[in-house]
Structure formats: structure tokens, C-alpha cells
Amino acid sequence: MTDRYRKPSDLPDILPVFPLQGCILLPRSTLPLNIFEPRYLEMMDDVLAGDRLIGIVQPRAHSEDEESPEGKSAALRRTGGVGRLTAFSETDDGRILITLAGIARFDIVDEVESEKPYRSCRVTYDPYCPDFIRGHGQEAVDWPRLLSVLKTYLSARQMSADWESIERSPAELLVNTLAMISPYGPEEKQALLEAPSLKERSEVLMALAQMEMAAPEDGSGSTLQ
């Protein structure tokens, strides 16, 4: 579905953006979302009637208890990810469950004034042209080391995994999916999003996992600042 977008000019310059703390979207990975706030329900109506594209971006520092800041005044991080809405369903209590498929990262140029209750931004995809190429850079990922660190991490937390499926996965899919579902904070997530290449993203993932495993049980270990 996302392979139709092959270059920056295939995407619009202005995107509706969904600010979400601790949430990133990377190319060719999927992000399920539970939409219930009126402002974002209206966004979904407009997106479904349009090109089905949404930008996911983290807000800058605000209350950790607030997943998506109210109003339009909260500062946004510069880099986010655009995805295409590929599935949605409505629930009996008025929520909408959607799935976004990641296409590419973007940098925010400026915010566009609108009477809509949600935010829209003018963006550029030009710094991230390799994002449009499926599998770009995955041959440089240290696959044996990545699997070794992942196995050690999951074993230390007594978690199981379907290793047969993992070992068959393309490196791009595994690295980007792990980056998105990793249990780290906003700063770590942003570092994973902004990693220049897939190889560097995999190295950040491994470094974070190793730091977490080495941290004292009281949680006083180092994190990215």
C-alpha cells in the first residue's frame, strides 16, 4: 500500500498532525491507534474523505500524564513520521480504531493556521529520501549481534518470542518495529526516529537494551537526555 509513494513529491506539503507523547512512526511499520477525542474524530472524518495521510509527531516537554496536549500551543518536535490510514473500524461507544502504515519521516517547516480543532503543519520530506526505498540500508545492520542482544534482553525479562518468524523478517521491518514498540521514554523514542540510517537505528536500539539490562533494579541507570 505504501509503495505508491516513491519520492517526496508524491506526498502533500501540508499534513494534519497527531501529537502523541512517546509515539513514533517509521517507514513500512504499522501503528494501531484508538481515537476517541472529538478533535481527532473530526480529523479522521477529514482524512478518510481526503488522501488518508496523517503525521505522527511527539510534543516537546509537557506533563507525562498527558498523552496528547490540549489546544494548539504546545511546541512540537521538529521530526515526525507520515503514515497512510489503511484500516479503520467504529465501535459502539463512538471510538474509531485505526491502523497507520508508515511511509517516511518529515521535518516540520511551520504550522498552518486553521479553524479545525486539530493541528496541521507544512512539512518537508527532502532530508529523508532514503525512507522511500524499501529495505534501504538493511544490509549494513549487524544482524547476528542484533538477534543476540534481542534474545538476551527478552530472556532477562522472561519474555518469549517467535524466533522462527523473527529470523525470517527483513532487517528494516524488525528494526523499525522494535523501535516503535520499545518501552522507552520520549527522548529515547525521538533518538530512534531521528537516527540517520537503519544501521544507526539498530545500534541505538542495542545500546538502549544493553543500558537497561546493566541498570540497577532501582531504575537509576542512564537514559538519553
Query: What's the confidence (pLDDT) of residue 220?
Result: 43
58 and 164 share a domain?
no
For 175-204, the pLDDT digits (tens) are 999 999 999 999 999 999 999 999 999 999
Query: What's the confidence (pLDDT) of residue 124?
Result: 98
Q: Which domain holds residue 165?
A: 138-214
Checking if the pLDDT of 224 tops 70, the result is: no
From 132, 159, 192, give the residue that closes a domain.
132
From 132, 152, 181, give the residue that closes a domain.
132
User: How confident is residue 63, by pLDDT bands cut at 50, 70 and 90?
Assistant: low
36 and 128 share a domain?
yes
Query: What's the confidence (pLDDT) of residue 218?
Result: 54
Write down the pTM of the prediction.
Answer: 0.91
124 and 209 share a domain?
no
199 domain residue, yes or no: yes
Query: 136-166 b/e with 16+ CB inside 10 Å = b?
Result: ebbeebeeeebeebbeebeeeeeeeeeeeee
Count other C-beta atoms under 10 Å from residue 26's C-beta. Answer: 28
For 3-51, the pLDDT digits (tens) are 899 999 999 999 999 999 999 999 999 999 999 999 999 999 999 999 9
